[in-house]
Amino acid sequence: MMGILDRFKKKPASAPLTDEKKLAEVAEYRLKEHPLLRDLQVKPLGTISTYVEGKVFCKLWNTEIDVDLYDDVPIEYAEKCAEAMNAMPEELIDVICRAAKGYCLEFLDEISEDWRNEILSRLHVPVDANTAPREMLKCFEIGTLSVAEKCAEAMNAMPEELIDVICRAAKGYCLEFLDEISEDWRNEILSRLHVPVDANTAPREMLKCFEIGTLSVEPPKDPSRIGYQLSGNCDWEEEHGIEIVILDGRLVYLGEYSGESPWSVQGDESWNYAQRG
């Protein structure tokens, strides 16, 4: 079954970017007798960079969690961080648990009664002022894999209606951008669009003019909701590209990349084509 990222690619994906330095660092680390970080791989990050991903055992939750190393963070440094995590003193765990309890209680206090009751019904332990802080360890987990999986599933099950909304917004983004720039620049862009774009262009044709390269997921403000960001390149705006933000199956932002969050879209509404009719 074709995934939504495949549908948003205007041409076959290029070969993964080769980063000889990172590949050599990963290969050297794997030769260690007892490597703490496992399954390390060099992965493409967009079209111009790479990062290293892998797994590490987390003693506190007795499970493996993800490791992502960006911006040339040395593997040896990540290993030291993992060692420190697994040697976390009891006093620090207590501080984390008390802070998590405060976060939970204040969040519950700020939301509606119906929403609060829904959350209370699914907490792994009852949480109130008398809850022992260490009990909070049963109410959260480290590692965003479960959240990312839900977002990936939602992305690949994106309904046709939402794809149509995205395409109409992308068409509006393209046309308005072309209208704002100089004639020479406009003609240069029109000459390289994969399809002619004007008022009569069928919205679905816009899928040939942009491609999505990254699915980004951040910790959710409400775990019962699904929010994620897609970003990539587009023919008409090579510098800033395209960003698509989805929350609960609804398009909440589409425009140039600006690092918007599905939980708090802050962009200029005049350049948010999800807000247009």
- What's the pLDDT score for residue 196? 93
Give me the mean pLDDT over the 12-31 stretch.
73
164 phi and psi angles, rounded to 5 deg: -65, -40
- Give the pLDDT of residue 191: 93
Question: Residue 244: which of 220, 202, 215, 201 has the closest Cα?
Answer: 215
Q: What is the DSSP letter of 219?
A: -
Q: What is the pLDDT of residues 218-237, one digit of tens each?
A: 767 776 788 888 988 999 99
| C-alpha radius of gyration, the chain, whole number | 22
pLDDT of residue 222: 77
At how many degrees (to 10) do helices 113-122 and 90-110 cross? 140
Q: What is the pLDDT of residue 14?
A: 42
Q: Which of 21-30, 64-73, 248-257 has the lowest mean pLDDT?
A: 64-73
- pLDDT 10s digits, 100-139: 999 999 999 998 998 899 899 989 999 999 999 999 988 8
Our CA dihedral for 84, 87, 90, 92, rounded to 10 degrees, sits at 0
Q: Nearest to residue 47, comparing CAs of 69, 74, 16, 22?
A: 16
The pTM (predicted TM-score) of the whole model is 0.52
Tell me the two tokens of residue 235: 């023919």
Report how far Cα 83 is from the mean position of its chain's Cα atoms.
27
> For 121-125, 171-175, 238-242, 266-270, which range has the lowest pLDDT when averaged over its residues?
266-270
Residue 28 structure tokens = 């050297």
Please tell me the predicted confidence (pLDDT) of residue 54: 85
Q: Which residue has the tokens 């070969």?
A: 15
What pLDDT does 6 receive?
54
263 has a pLDDT exceeding 70: yes
Hey, what's the torsion of the CAs at 147, 150, 153, 159, to 10 degrees?
A: -120
Contacts of 39 (CB under 8 A, 6+ apart): 54, 55
**How is residue 261 annotated by DSSP?**
-
Amino acid occupying residue 8? F
Helical (H) or strand (E) element with 234: strand 227-234
- Residue pair 207/267 in contact (Cβ under 8 Å)? The answer is no
Q: Is the pLDDT of residue 18 over 80?
A: no
Residue 70 burial (CB count, 10 A): 11
Confidence tier at 146 by pLDDT (50, 70, 90): very low
